[in-house]
Amino acid sequence: MKQDVDLKQNLDSKQNLALFDLDNTLLAGDSDYNWGLFLINEGLLDGKTHQARNDQFYQDYKNGNLDIYQFLEFQLKPLSEHPKTFLDALHLKYMEKVIRPMMTQKAQELVDAHKAAGDLCVVITATNSFVTKPIATAYGIEHLIGTDPEMIDGQYTGGVQGVPSFQEGKVTRINDWLKARGQQLGDFSKSYFYSDSHNDLPLMKLVTNPVAVDADPTLTAYAISHEWPQISLRT
């Protein structure tokens, strides 16, 4: 059964933290998977070889057995093959053709409700920050924790910088990010995390208010057994 999420807070309470997964949570689709399809449609990748591997990695992700470093080697390689200026222009087209149709009014309303409540809002996603930063910005969310592509002298190398923001890596990344701000999870009266995926259970178990959003079967079962709220952000 779908449940409403209570965003009310007392005037004298401390600030709350609102964490949002992106793909299949705020977005009605997967920005990482669709970026590969977009590059194929733009003639920048070979469809036969790339799409088969893209599909397999996506299935591995849904099954919970994705090798994140093997996937990132595959997914970040195209960034290393083009200048940053070209990629930025390409991403503008990607936003208009692919991403904006996946942005839902309900997702925007949820983000706006947290912002209006004065909550610290952060998108935390396994998808690389090149793809996701403009999407977070489009939702009006300033802070993004994504998997960071390595860049040297203004050019993407195809490698990864730091810890990928995936599974337990999301716990590491949010703790490091908060520590750099002189904060920790326990400083917040309430900490929300909205996600669709069982891959996010390590972080969902740590926040005070985990919320399953259009969740996969594994997360749905876990949410039911632990009486977590379940909501839909689809139009």
Active site residues per annotation: 21, 23
CA 177 to chain centre: 15
For tokens 């998997």, the residue is 147
CA 196 to chain centre: 10
Question: Residue type for 212, please?
Answer: A
Instruction: Kindly give, in sequence order, each residue whose CB lies less than 8 Å from that of residue 70, ignoring residues fewer than 6 positions away.
Output: none
For tokens 């990482």, the residue is 32
What SS3 string covers 46-88?
CHHHHHHHHHHHHHHHHHCCCCHHHHHHHHHHHHHHCCHHHHH
